[in-house]
Amino acid sequence: MSIAEAAEILERAEEVEWPEPEPILATEEDARPYPLDALPPVMRKAVETYQRYGQQPLPLVACSALANASLAAQGLVDVGRDENLIGPVSLNLAVIACSGERKTSADRRFAAAAQRWQAERSEAMEPEMAAARAAIDAHAAERDGIIAKIRRAAGKASGKDQADRGALRARLEELEATRPSPVIPPCLFREDASPEALAQGLAFGWPSSSVWSDEGGLVVGGHGMSEDSALRYLALLNRLWDGLAFRRDRTTTQSFVVQGRRLTCSLMMQELVLARLMAARNGAARGIGFLARFLLAWPMSTMGMRRYREADLSAPELAAFDQRMHELLDLPLPTDRPALTLRPEALFLSQAARRQWIAFHDDVEQELGRNGAYGDVCDFAAKAAEKAARIAAVLHVFEHGPRGEIQADALLAGAQIAAWHLHEARRIMAACERPQLDSDAHLLLQWLVQQEPQPVSLKRVSQYAPSRVRPKQRRDRAIEELQERHLVVLDRFEGTAVLRLNPRLRGDREPA
């Protein structure tokens, strides 16, 4: 269809008196703009610069930057909401986005600094790790030799043999007291691991790490979420978010304690993966509070509006973000050796920040009842104030380092971001419970509003609309629903079937 033909149809559409459109979703389920100004300047400029190039949904890019900041900050500090409420600053983030949304590209770019730091640090530590391995092997050989001599001397009754055994035992005790420790290289990113492998990796590995995937299906569909291990995996991640110790006792394998560890979770997943996660073990992900610990986001797609743009992925704004990540990761972690148990100092809220935090806590708490604004997501809302404090601490560390007090502006920023994600949680949980027809109609309408020029041919819908609504039966039912609500009209022009939007919707990128 030519532009002139489309213009003629639009002119004809303007002459029709359209009924008032009926919204598909309740107003409170509309997406809200991401509070970009809440991010520190270096992070905000990096997000803006990359998003102009990649053209992903802005919240997707912002979540990737925030997750990396959490990874860099979590081993350095805890956050103290008061003298008793002290806990980790680690964040869990999950972004729902369809295939083709360029989530991998955004995630890869913002994680580049941490990946580079990990590789460089591991390479620099290699001589030290090799020396430690040699010392451990030599210690093991000497220990085995002493034990062999003790066994050979066993049963011999002479005084000399008894004296030899005593000397060997003393040497063995001395040797055990000087057992060399391995040198632990950084391991910041983990993806597909069983709960046992994750726990053991954290217990004996680098104390600040993450479960990280730009394809959440690798986690949700991986070893950790098998039918047998799903509950153990979710419970372990809950325990790590809370910063609590975890002990694994076994009779046939090594027992150990996971203590003084911090874990960020950053998952990007498709809607199908979210549905699978929510269905796992009869809804255990929500039932035991796993999902409630996440900052959820399901931003509106930008597909269909992206035009090719050149960009410098080493632009000054992105280089500044990388440099700040490198500076934070270079800071020594406050650990007890040899197990590298984290002992982070607590960052406390200033008096003004604490007043802000209490006001936010109380405002959300008032809406937790059955009839409150967050009655349907009370599990998410109950953790919103803690999330606000964690985000504020991460933003403070990113901007000022692991020292000082968290000021009111950082707390306000953390509250704005936490409130945005709480609204997203309400939208996402409602969408998961919404009838398929309403969901399809809303998805199709969102896509139609973004298309230029208008009207949109039915052929284009079948080729380029979100894949879920391309099959003819689902497409036609969604169109019927939109027509019944006076949101579109199915028309024909010179033998071509086209969809005309109610003129009141044109230019609105987030239809009701």
Residue 302 has pLDDT above 80, yes or no: no
| Cα 211 from Cα 90, distance rounded (Å) | 12
What's the pLDDT at 158?
A: 63
26 pLDDT band (50/70/90 cuts)? low
What is the crossing angle of helices 384-400 and 408-433, to 10°? 130
Rounded mean pLDDT, 267-294: 81
Q: Which two tokens stand for residue 10?
A: 């639009």
DSSP string, 363-403: HHHTT-STTSTTGGGHHHHTTHHHHHHHHHHHHHHHHH-S-
Over range 285-309, report the average pLDDT.
Answer: 85
Q: What is the mean pLDDT of residues 45-55?
A: 93
Structural domain spans, the chain:
3-24+436-505, 40-55+69-89+301-335+344-433, 193-297
Is residue 335 within 8 Å of residue 342, measured between CB atoms?
A: yes
Best-predicted range by mean pLDDT (5-19, 41-55, 278-292, 498-512):
41-55
| Out of 280-294, 334-348, 359-373, 384-398, least confident range | 280-294
Residue 405 has pLDDT above 90, yes or no: yes
CA 296 – CA 353 distance, rounded (Å): 25
* Percent above pLDDT 90 for the chain: 41
Select the highest-mean-pLDDT range: 62-76, 417-431, 498-512: 62-76
pLDDT band at 430 (very low <50, low <70, confident <90, very high): confident
- Phi, then psi, of 128 in degrees rounded to 5: -65, -40
Confidence of residue 118 (pLDDT cuts 50, 70, 90): very high
Pairing of strands 335-336, 77-80: unpaired
Residue-wise burial string across 196-218, b where 16 or more C-beta atoms lie within 10 A, e elsewhere:
bebbbbbbebbbbbbbbbbbbbb
pLDDT at 47 (0 to 100): 97
What integer pLDDT is reported at residue 220 of this predicted model? 67
Q: Please, which residues have CB within 8 angstroms of residue 436's CB and are 6 or more apart in sequence?
A: none
**C-alpha atoms less than 13 angstroms from C-alpha of 262 in its C-beta half-sphere:** 25
At residue 425 the predicted structure's pLDDT band, cuts being 50, 70 and 90, is: very high
Nearest by Cα to 125 from 135, 133, 113, 114: 133
Count of C-beta atoms within a 10 Å radius of residue 63 = 30
Please say if the pLDDT value at position 171 is more than 50. yes
In 203-250 the beta strands, taken as DSSP E runs, fall at 208-213, 246-248
Q: For the chain, state the CA radius of gyration.
A: 28
**Region of poorest pLDDT, from 162-171, 235-244, 340-349:** 162-171
Q: Which range among 41-50, 255-264, 399-408, 485-494 shows the weakest confidence by mean pLDDT?
A: 485-494
- The CATH topology of domain 3-24+436-505 is Arc Repressor Mutant, subunit A (1.10.10)
Q: Please tell me the predicted confidence (pLDDT) of residue 410.
A: 97
Among 113-122, 218-227, 305-314, where is mean pLDDT lowest?
Answer: 218-227
CA distance 410 to 390: 10
Point out which residues pair with 87 in neighbouring strands: 79
Confidence class of residue 132 from pLDDT cuts 50, 70 and 90?
confident
Mean pLDDT of 91-117: 90
Choice between 73 and 23, residue whose per-residue pLDDT is larger = 73
Helix (H) or strand (E) holding 420: helix 408-433
Decide if pLDDT at 218 tops 80: no
- Chain segment 326-365, per-residue pLDDT in tens: 999 999 999 988 889 999 999 999 999 999 999 999 999 9
- 406 DSSP 8-state letter: B
What local confidence, expressed as pLDDT, does residue 49 receive? Answer: 95
d(CA 483, CA 490): 8
Residue 273's pLDDT is 78
The distance of Cα 84 from the centroid of its chain, to the nearest Å, equals 27
Q: What is the pLDDT of residue 509?
A: 40
Q: Three-state SS for 412? A: helix
Residue 138 has pLDDT above 90, yes or no: no
Asked whether residue 271 carries a pLDDT value surpassing 90, the answer given is no
pLDDT-derived band at 37 (thresholds 50, 70, 90) equals very high
Residue 393 has pLDDT above 50, yes or no: yes
Task: Label residues 414-435 b or e (16+ Cβ within 10 Å = b).
Answer: bbbbbbbbbbbbbbbbbbeeee
Q: Sign of the CA dihedral 506, 507, 508, 509?
A: positive
Sign of the alpha-carbon dihedral angle for 98, 279, 208, 199 = negative
The pLDDT > 70 percentage for the chain reads: 88
pLDDT over 90 (residue 296): yes
Residue 231: what pLDDT? 82
Beta strands 496-501 and 488-493, pairing class? antiparallel
pLDDT at 195: 80
Residue 35 has pLDDT above 50, yes or no: yes
Model confidence at 5, pLDDT cuts 50, 70, 90, reads: low
Whether 422 shows a pLDDT value over 90: the answer reads yes
Chain mean pLDDT for the chain: 85
